Structure formats: C-alpha cells, structure tokens
Structure 1
Amino acid sequence: MITLNDYLYSGDTIFRILQKYTTDLRKDAKKHRNEIDMMHCNFLVQIRELLEHNDFLTAQSRKITEFYKYMAKEYPYLAFTFKGRIKSLIRAEQKFNSYVVEYIYHYYEEHGTYPSASQLKTRLSCFRDLIAYRIVICMPKCHYNSEEERTEAELKCLYEIANVLPDFLEERGFTAEPAHGVQESISPLMDESVRPYYRDYISHHSEDQYQSLHITFYDNSSRSYMEVQLRTKTMDDVAEIGAANHLGYEKKQEKERSKRDAIPEGKNRYFDEAYERGKRLTGLDLSGLDVNMFAAIDNHLINDGCGLYRGRLILPYEHLSRFQNDLID
C-alpha cells in the first residue's frame, strides 16, 4: 500500500513529495484497478495547485479584504482578525482518508453491506474547505459592566456580521452554497434569508464545546470553493488551544478504533487502506521528518513555512478597536 508517510523522510520539497506520492499512487491504482485511489490522486493534484499559491488566490483574498474594510468602518470599536489559509498537506490527507472511513462505516451500520465505489466517489466529491478564511471578533471589556453583558453583545455582533456576509460576497462574484440542513441554525439572531447557508455550531452545542459559524462559497471567477468561519475570540481559543482541540482529539481516536472493530480487516479494501493511512499520519513524529523548509523540535514546537503541517497562509489582517489604538481619551 502506498502511503504519504513513506515520502516524508527524503529531504525533498513538499512539491516533489506530492509529485512522487501522486505518481506512485496512480501507478498502483491502475495496476489494482482502485477507483478510490485514482480519485485520491486527483485530490492530491488539487492540493498541489493550491499550495503553489496561484494568482487566483491573490485576487480572491483582495475581495475578502473588502469585507474587512467594511467591518472596520461599521464596527470601529470592535477588535477583529481576518485569516486565510490553504489546508495543509497532512491535514488534507487525513481528511480524505477519514471521509472514506466515515462513509463506509455509517453505510455499513445502516445497510449491513458496503457501498459501491461509485457511491463512495460521490461522497468524496464534497470537499469545500481546502481554502478557508476565518473572522474572529472580540468586543473590548471597557464598553460593558459585566462579562455576561459583553458576551451577549459580542454574540449579537457575530450574527449581525454573518447576516451581512452572503449578500456582500455575492455582489463580488461569490455564490453561497446551501448547507442542506446540516447544523441548520436555530438562533433567533440569524436572518431567515441566510439561515439555509450556514452550519451553526453555536446554537447546536457539542460535547467538546466547539462553537463557530461555517458557510461555504463558490468563487465564480476561479471556479473553486472556499469556507468562511466566524467566531468570537473565546470560541477561537476553545477550538485552537482549549477543550475542542485536546479532548476532541482523544475522543476522535476512540471513535476511530471503534470503527476498526466494527469492520474487521480484510472485509473492505477501501476502508482498510484509508484507516491505515490515517492511523500512520496520526502517529507521525514530526521531529523525525526530513522535508525541505520544514523543521520541528517536537510535535508542539513547529516551524512550517511550506504548507506541510500548518498550511499556507493567504491573508493575515488585524483590526484593533479604537480604544486599543488610543484614539479616544
């Protein structure tokens, strides 16, 4: 079986690694008539094209920046950041394989049989977040008498921004994609007109405390999908360094092991290969890798300038509140 791990110790650049991995995977897929690995190859080609930072990303980020300027004008007292990132190679590879595992497992649970390759390919055509932008807001404490009052105002502001975003980007060549009822918002703060497009992880509480608003757009000029996430600073902290990051990881590992128990090895080759690839990536010791431009002292101290682990940064912007800028006495 061809796995990404086998190419991460050669000292090559990330692009050479992707090229070699894709070439060998394609040869193996043709030899064994593996339709899913052929689709996997096309997915890897897409990742490489994104990591090369094509011109369309610059044009796209400029349009997103217009919403940043809108917010700076409309919310001068609000602090917020805009970030854009292409999903990293390791994270993208993990996600592709986890989609295979998830779909086969749930299909087997429901039907007692395994899905066909064509059914699985349909499921794998749904990647919409290889390009992602994140808007994180924070209301300065000096405006409010209590933390509860500040949190309530911050949440109201977040939904207000979410209500404006779809129409704003529609006017600039983007089309909001329906969420098809996935995590449909039940918040009274969200307008009915935009409700079908958002996946609301705030009004739907999760065990790992993850909270965020997600919406997917199709960029008509570049013919690519992108995801926009909206969060408060507290929500972002929980997702990045809090319970949603650490506890969620442990629970995810337990769930993956239970799926392996439900579908014994040898019953479905697509499941077997995807599960093994995901397992190997999860156990990766970053300090032992040899990838040009990548260095890691351990799995926590990471310097990634090539899009291997953290992804390629597109858009970093930070807007300070007028109070933070000391413009008001």
Structure 2
Amino acid sequence: MKKLNNYLYSGDTVLKILQRYAEDLKQSAKETHNQIDLLHCNFLLQIAELLQHNEFLTSQSQRIREFYKLMANEYPFLAFTFKGRIKSLIRAEAKFNGYIVEYIYEYYIKHGNYPSLPELKNYLNCFRDLIAYRIVISLPKCHLKEGEICADEENKYLYDVANKLLDFLEERGFTAELSSFMGQKKSPLLRESVSPYYRDYVANPESSGYRSLHITFYDNIARCYVEVQLRTKEMDDFAEIGPANHLGYEKRQESERVKRDAIPKGENIYFDDAYERGIMLQQLELSKLDVNMFSAMNNSLVNDGCGLYRGRLILPYEHLSKFQNDLID
C-alpha cells in the first residue's frame, strides 16, 4: 500500500512529492483495481494545482479583498484580519482518509454492513475547504460604551458582517451553498435569508467549545469551492491555541481506536487502507522530515513556507482599529 509518509524524507519539494505519490498510487490502483485509490489520485492532483498558485487564485483573493475594503469603511473602529490559505498536504491527506474511515464506520454501525463502492465514491465528493478564508474581528475596549460587554458586542458585529458577506460575494461571481448543518439553533442576529447557508457554531458550539461561523461558496469564475470562516479574536484563540486545538488530538486518537475495534481488519480494504494511512500521519515526527523549504524543531515549532503542514498562505490582510480620536490630550 502506498502511503504519503514514504515520500517525506527525500528532500524533494512538496509539488514533487505530490507528483511521485500520485503517480505511484495511480499505478498501484490500476494493478489492484482500487477505484478509491484512483479517486485519491485525483484529489492529490487537485491539491498540486492549487499549490502552484495559478492566476485564478489571484483573481479570487482580489475579489474577496474587496470585502475587506468594505469592512474598513463600515467598521473603522474594529480591528480585524483577513487570511486565506490552501489546506496543507498533510492535513488534506489526513482529512481524505479520515472521511473514508468515518463514513464506513458510521454506515456499518447504522446498517450492520458496508457501503457500496458508488456510495463511498459519492461521499468523497464532499470536499469544499481546500481553499479557505478566515475573517477575525476584535473590538478594542476603548470603543465600548458604559455597561456594554465586549463579547456580546463583538458577536453583534460578527453576525452583521456575516449578513453582509453573502450578498457581497454573490454579486462578484460566488454562489453560496446551502448548509447541511441539521437541527441547529437559529441566532436572531443572523438574517433569515442568509441563515440557511451558515453552519453556526457560535449559537451551536461543538463539544470542545469551538465556535465560529462557516459558509461555503462556489466560485463560478475560478470554478472551485471555497470556505469562509468568521470568528472573534477570542473564538480564534480558543480554536488555534486553546483547548479546542490541544485536547482534540487525544480525543481523535481515542475515536480512531474505537472505529478500528468495531471493524475487524480484513473485512473492508478501503477502511483498512485509510485507517493505516491516517494512523501513520498521526505518528509523524516533523523534525525528522526532509522536505524542501520545510523545517521543524518539533511538532509545535514549525517553519513551513511550502504548504506541507501549515498550508499555503494566499491572502494576509490586517486592519488596525482607528482609535486615535478617542485619545484625550
């Protein structure tokens, strides 16, 4: 079985690693008639194309940057950042295999047998976040009125931004996708006309405490899907450097072991392959990898300028709050 891990010690560039892995996986898939591995190859080629930063990404980021200009005019008192990234190779690979494991496990628990090949292939067409943009806002305390609570006021602005975002991007070639988030609470701050498109983890926090607003668009000009996340600084800190980030790893490992115990090895080749690839990725020691432009002291101290682990940044933009007029001479 071909695994990404086998290609991460050659000193090659990320694009060369992707090319070699995809070519070898395709050859193996033909020999074994493994249609899921062929689908996997196409997924890898899609990442390779994105990482080359083709012209459509420049066009896309420029159109999204127009919303930054709107926010700078409408919310001069807010501090906020816009970031765009292409999902990293390691995390994309982990997610692809994780989707296979999750789908087969949940199907087996529900039905007592395994999904058909067409069902599994159809499920694996669900990737929408290889390109993602994040808007993070913060309201400096100097702008709070007496009696106002910062978190409450930031939430109001967050939903206000969300209400404006959908129409703005749809006027510029994007089409919002209906959310598959079922049974969610409805925030009164989110307009009824836009609510069906958002996955609202602010009104519906995850068990880890993670909160954010997520919406997916299809870019009709670039012909690809993009995800946009909206958070306050507090939400972003919690997700990136707080419990939602650190505790999630151990919970994921425990969850994977439960799935492996439920499905005996050898009963489903697609589950077996995806599970092993996922476990191998979890066990990577980043400091020992040899990839051009990548270096790491350990799994926390990472310098990644090539889209291997952290993703490739395509839109860094920052607006500082205009508070000077609030200063007292």
TM-score norm. by structure 1 comes to: 0.97
Is the 8 Å Cα contact of residues 218 and 224 (structure 1) preserved in structure 2? Answer: yes
Distance 2:36 2:46 in 1: 15
Q: SS of the residue aligned with 2:149?
A: helix
Is the 8 Å Cα contact of residues 183 and 204 (structure 1) preserved in structure 2? Answer: no
Shift in Å, 1:185: 4.7
**C-alpha deviations, 1:276-320, integer Å up to 9, x for none?**
000000110000001111111111111101000011100000000
Amino acid at match of 2:58: T
Paired residue total: 327
Q: SS of the residue aligned with 1:83?
A: strand
Distance 2:317 2:43 in 1: 29
Is the 8 Å Cα contact of residues 212 and 231 (structure 1) preserved in structure 2? Answer: yes
Is the 8 Å Cα contact of residues 89 and 308 (structure 2) preserved in structure 1? Answer: yes
Distance 1:79 1:147 in 2: 21
Shift in Å, 1:180: 3.0
Shift in Å, 1:79: 0.5
Distance 1:269 1:148 in 2: 57
Q: SS of the residue aligned with 2:315?
A: strand
Is the 8 Å Cα contact of residues 77 and 143 (structure 2) preserved in structure 1? Answer: no
Is the 8 Å Cα contact of residues 26 and 38 (structure 2) preserved in structure 1? Answer: yes
What is the match of residue 221 of structure 2? Answer: 221
**C-alpha deviations, 1:87-113, integer Å up to 9, x for none?**
000000000000000000000011000
Q: SS of the residue aligned with 2:314?
A: strand
Q: SS of the residue aligned with 1:303?
A: strand
Shift in Å, 1:248: 1.5
Distance 1:147 1:30, change over 3 A: farther
Distance 1:182 1:82 in 2: 28
Distance 1:60 1:250 in 2: 36
1:3 aligns with 2:3: yes
What is the match of residue 212 of structure 2? Answer: 212
Amino acid at match of 1:83: K
- What is the aligned-residue RMSD (CA, Å)? 1.2
**Structure 1 residue runs without a partner (length 5+):** none
Amino acid at match of 1:81: T
Amino acid at match of 2:120: L
Alignment of 1:283-302 (within 5 A): 283-302=283-302
Decide which moves more: 105-114 or 176-185.
176-185
Is the 8 Å Cα contact of residues 88 and 308 (structure 1) preserved in structure 2? Answer: yes
Shift in Å, 1:160: 0.6
What is the match of residue 314 of structure 2? Answer: 314
Q: SS of the residue aligned with 1:210?
A: coil
Distance 2:136 2:204 in 1: 19
Runs of 4+ with deviation above 4 angstroms: 145-148
Alignment of 1:130-209 (within 5 A): 130-144=130-144, 149-182=149-182, 184-209=184-209
Shift in Å, 1:327: 4.8
What is the match of residue 281 of structure 1? Answer: 281
Amino acid at match of 1:100: I
Is the 8 Å Cα contact of residues 131 and 227 (structure 2) preserved in structure 1? Answer: yes
Is the 8 Å Cα contact of residues 94 and 278 (structure 2) preserved in structure 1? Answer: yes
Shift in Å, 1:182: 3.8
Distance 1:212 1:122, change over 3 A: same
What is the match of residue 106 of structure 2? Answer: 106
Is the 8 Å Cα contact of residues 87 and 132 (structure 2) preserved in structure 1? Answer: yes
Is the 8 Å Cα contact of residues 185 and 195 (structure 1) preserved in structure 2? Answer: no
Shift in Å, 1:147: 8.9
